[in-house]
Structure formats: structure tokens, C-alpha cells
Amino acid sequence: MRRLGPTEGARRSLRHVALTILAVVLFAAALTWFLQSAIPRRIVIASGAPEGTYHLLAQKYENLLAADSITLVERPTQGSAENLRLLMNPRSGVDVAFVQGGMSDGVTGVEMLAALYYEPLWVFTRSGRALTQLDQLRGKRIAVGPQGSGTRDLAERVLGANDVTSENSTLMPLTNLEAVGALRDGAVDAILLVGSAQGKAIGTALRDPSLVLMSIGRADAYPRRFHFLTKLTLPAGAIDLARDIPPHDVTLLGTKAMLVARDDLPNPLVDLLLDAAGDIHSEADTFATNSEFPSVDRVDLPVSDAAIRRQKFGPRFLHRYLPFFVATYVERLIVVLLPLLVILVPLVNVLPQVLRWRARSRIYRWYGELALLEREVRRHTGDPPLARWNAELDRIEDAATRVRAPASYAGELYTLREHIDFVRRTMQAKARAPER
């Protein structure tokens, strides 16, 4: 058996170590790239009109998410109906959106992450005769918002329930400050707006002495027909105590604004968005009590399972103590490595046995051929075929010298060499012995 010199053996050991280190480094690099690329760093949100509440909210979410190195890209739209269409289209690029409750008809692949706040329906008319029923708007010019907006959808529903339709009234696609200006100038007889009291257009209309906010009669009947609606009360002075706005309690109808997303939005982003929602919407406002929102109580869209778990149990363990990307990276690393460990631990136990079997099989293979040759030599009668036997033995001996095996198996190789010499001596004795 050929022995390796000290220099050659050291070089071979160093080469094995270098290849092992290279394999580990390449695996770690590939794993790091896979895990980091799987964590999105950009979210596209569909908001609403530039002067609307949804636009202002998108800016707040953008600032909060930036602290966790997430880029929130806002896409202005006509409103809730368009937002839902974008979410249902996988090619739109929109991941999340603000949507008004009551828009779920025909919607698929979209889930509610949280209800954020009450969105009242505000009905304004000019000062003069006070209106108390929506059916009193029949035959009037009414600004109900553009097609594709949540305001338009809700307005057409509640007006239609009072037989106020485009067939007997004039429904105009005006909204926000444009609608307020048209009402003030007499271009329309009433306007319907949906949004928070802090919205610019609604705040302007509430403080305009020439405009009157309708207190909606029969308000208890509407939630019975439209399950996403809620009866709300705006207390006297709730908008401005000094100016007594409003001068008396006003009964309103309201739905809820929702943060909705595609149902394949990664769970870490769901948690991050809910954290932002808690920072923005948890305080009491004109209609909500403290910590009433964000809520996972269903409005009309199905609620995300991840959002329900987050609301019930709070942040996941790692996210309580580590930055977002660090916690998410470690979570994904555990998900990837745990199945590997399930496979590798038994494999590590079996691998030494496999290696021992492989090393011995290289040696024992030639033991088998040597045993056959020895049996033939012992049983042969007549003139021995020494040339053939020697050729076979030389072949076995040459192969034995080329066997590569760990140093711990050197004894088996030396024993094989001794057996080869033993068989060779047996052959020579056979050739010298007189035939009987």
C-alpha cells in the first residue's frame, strides 16, 4: 500500500478543510439571500382623493413604516370601489388599501386587517327648512360623489331605500370641497359626504353658518337593513364647544373605515401594519371610545386569520424584543432550519456507519476475490496455471495498493496484503509439490 508523505498528506487535509469551509460559506450566503429576498421592503397602498381623509392616513402610515425600513408607496384613487378593484387584480401592484364598509359585494381574494374608525354619513343642506328624512331629498339636486367612490356607493344605497334615485332626482358626481362650494353657491340642494369629522371638507361644512347638518330620522331602521351601518350620535358642541357646533345632538348613520389587504400578504407585514394602526387609531375621537379601534370585529369583508391572532395574543415573541427585520429574519431562519434538523440529526447518527461500511467495502471486495482465488488454488489438481494465477494475484495486489481509506482502516489493508502474500506462497508451494 502506497503511503502518503507528510507534505502530501498535509496538502490533502488542507484541501478538504478548504472545500468544507467553502461549502459552508456558500450555503450560508445562499440561505441569507433567500431569507432576505423573502422579506418585502415595499408596500403599495391605494388611498383616495388627494384632499380626502384616506390620503392623510396614508401619509401617517408612511412615516411610521419608514422607521422599520419599509417603503409605503401611495396610489391615489377615486375611493373604496376602485381600491377594491385594484386589490382584486394581482397585476395592479396594490397590496393594501383603505376601504369603506359596505363594499363587499362580489369581492374575492381580499381580507380585512382591521376596522379603523367610524365613517359617518353627513347630509348637508342650506339653511332654511330643516329636513329630517332622506326621502325629503326626492326630486332634488344631490351631490353624491363620483363613480367608484365609497361615498357614491353608500349614498345610492340609503337614498335608494327611500326611493330617491337617478330617475326622480339629479345625482351629481361632486365630492369634498367642490361639493361644499356647490351647495353654498346653490348649484345643488344637498350633499352627502362620508368621512371623519376631522376631514377638511366635512370640517368646513360643519363650521359654515349657511349650511345645516341633517339629523337623520328613523336611524334605528337602517342598521336592520344594512348590517354594516351603525347609528351614531354627534353630541351638541362636540365639534366646537366655543361656537356650539353642533347646537344640538345630531343623529347620524355611519359605517367603518377598514384597512384591507390581499389575502396573500405576508404575516410579518400584517403585524407591522397593525402596529401602525394601533399607534394611529387607538385614541378616542368624536364617535369612538379609547382603544375601541383598531378592531377585528367583522364589518363585511372576511377578517384575516393573522390579524385575529395578532389582536388576541399580541406581537409574536421575537417581535417584542427585536427590530422588525431581525425578528422576521430569525423567524424565517427557524422555519427553514427546523425541517433540515429533523433530517440531519438522524443522518448524522447514520452517516458514520455508512462511511465505515463504504470504507470496509472497498477492502472487503478484494478479500472476496482473493478468497475465490485461494479456493481454486487449494482444490486444483494437475499442472497449476501459475501464469493466470499470478496475473490474478497481481491484479488484486495492485488494486489493494490503490484503495483509499481512513487511517483507522490501515490495519485491514495490511492484513489484506498479508493474505495476498499467503496466497502467493500457497501457489508456489502448489507448483513445487509433486502431483499425486
What's the CA gap between 4 and 23, in Å, rounded? 26
Contact 212, 126 (CB under 8 A): yes
Contact 222, 158 (CB under 8 A): yes
Q: Which residue has the cell 393573522?
A: 306
> Residue 299's pLDDT is what?
93
What's the CA gap between 195 and 49, in Å, rounded? 12
What's the CA gap between 173 and 228, in Å, rounded? 24
Q: For domain 42-315, give the CATH number.
A: 3.40.190.10
**Which residues are CB-neighbours of 80 under 8 A, at least 6 positions away?**
48, 97, 98, 99, 100, 103, 149, 150, 153
Boundaries of every domain in the chain: 1-31, 42-315, 352-436
> Residue 426's pLDDT is what?
80
Low-confidence ranges of the chain (pLDDT < 50): 1-6, 9, 436
> Residue 6's pLDDT is what?
45
> Residue 69's pLDDT is what?
84
What's the CA gap between 119 and 196, in Å, rounded? 5
Interval 96-114: pLDDT, tens: 999 999 988 889 999 999 9
